[in-house]
């Protein structure tokens, strides 16, 4: 998949294709349906399949001081989009100038003039343009005027009736229900980052941890999780079972938010390595202990619980791009 940040970079061979539009935060199964529709249409016509998304997320642009809400920072989003077989990803910078573009100007200058689209694929609730005045009806009117087609993908729901939406995924993660969130995502939700040096207390009590700083993501429910931790080996990601604590480490009177991950039966050095952590099951809330021995005893219990939960899910050992919902 090729990546572009300005339409002037687009080569002629990628113009005239099928383009899907959206923020796609989380890339849940509803989003995936939109993108797969674009790919299927493009393949049937023998034209390129692309996706346009927006960085930063418009909600973050307009309210930069709100609590973290992103499900998939750009690196994760790009990897997930690439796995769906898109030919290119166009990343539109969402800044003050772009936010002032009218819906008509966005279509005429960027979609038609810049990208030369032949077909647009969106969800039924897609809105665009200054003050969100553009909707599917206006898009269809402009399409008739400028000679491209529009495909609207209807709203989808999981088998249990929950609607595929980023808001529903966020709420489930905040409630400590990662498996239910996975049923909407089609995979277990991940946190990733570069492993940093910490206080190294875990090593002294027999539970060394990889520490991931927590900056741009939604905050799931604080507490202890059974996890799968992925280490990239070139193009492959090899996953390991583990247990993790997300929170502030009250036993040591810490206030910063950190994800601490202990990998089972693993001894290699992870410092400065890029680590992906998929939250599988919630075990218990974070709590403050009276001392190191009490903490150590609880980590032992948590590890046993995590091993049992992960074994029951029967995850495969083969490298995979993400941990699929089971």
The H or E element spanning position 100 is: none
128 DSSP assignment: B
Which tokens belong to 218?
A: 């939604």
User: Quick check: is 260 catalytic?
Assistant: yes
Distances (CA, A) of 168 to 157, 183, 191, 281: 11, 11, 18, 17
Distances (CA, A) of 92 to 53, 141, 145: 6, 23, 24
Angle between helices 178-185 and 166-174 (to 10 degrees): 160
What φ, ψ does residue 236 adopt, rounded to 5°?
A: -110, 150
How many other C-beta atoms can be found within 10 angstroms of the C-beta atom of residue 160? 8
77-108 CB burial, b ≥16 within 10 A, e <16: bbbbbbebebbbbbbbebeeeeeebebbebbb
126 DSSP assignment: -
Catalytic residue among 9, 108, 192, 260: 260
d(CA 191, CA 286): 18
Active site residues: 260
């Amino acid at each position: 998949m090729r990546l572009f940040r300005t339409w002037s970079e687009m080569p002629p061979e990628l113009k005239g294709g099928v383009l899907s539009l959206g923020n796609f935060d989380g890339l849940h199964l509803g989003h995936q349906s939109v993108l797969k529709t674009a790919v299927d249409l493009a393949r049937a016509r023998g034209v390129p399949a692309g996706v346009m998304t927006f960085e930063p997320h418009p909600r973050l642009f307009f309210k930069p001081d709100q609590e973290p809400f992103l499900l998939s920072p750009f690196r994760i989003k790009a990897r997930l989009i690439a796995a769906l077989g898109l030919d290119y990803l166009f990343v539109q910078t969402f800044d003050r100038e772009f936010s002032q573009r009218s819906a008509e100007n966005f279509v005429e200058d960027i979609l038609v003039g810049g990208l030369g689209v032949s077909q647009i694929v969106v969800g039924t609730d897609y809105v665009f343009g200054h003050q969100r005045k553009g909707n599917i009806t206006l898009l269809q009117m402009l399409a008739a005027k400028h000679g491209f087609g529009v495909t609207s993908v209807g709203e989808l729901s999981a088998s249990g009736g929950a609607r595929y939406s980023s808001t529903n995924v966020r709420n489930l993660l905040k409630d400590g229900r990662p498996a239910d969130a996975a049923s909407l995502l089609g995979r277990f939700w991940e946190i990733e980052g570069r492993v940093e040096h910490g206080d190294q207390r875990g090593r002294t009590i027999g539970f060394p941890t990889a520490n991931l700083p927590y900056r741009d993501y939604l905050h799931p429910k604080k507490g202890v999780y059974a996890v799968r931790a992925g280490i990239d080996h070139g193009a492959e990601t090899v996953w390991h079972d583990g247990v993790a604590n997300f929170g502030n480490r009250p036993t040591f009177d810490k206030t910063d938010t950190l994800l601490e991950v202990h990998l089972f039966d693993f001894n290699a050095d992870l410092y400065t390595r890029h680590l992906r952590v998929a939250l599988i099951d919630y075990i218990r809330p974070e709590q403050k202990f009276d001392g190191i021995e009490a903490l150590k005893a609880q980590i032992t219990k948590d590890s046993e619980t995590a091993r049992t939960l992960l074994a029951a899910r029967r995850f495969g050992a083969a490298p995979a791009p993400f941990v699929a919902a089971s």
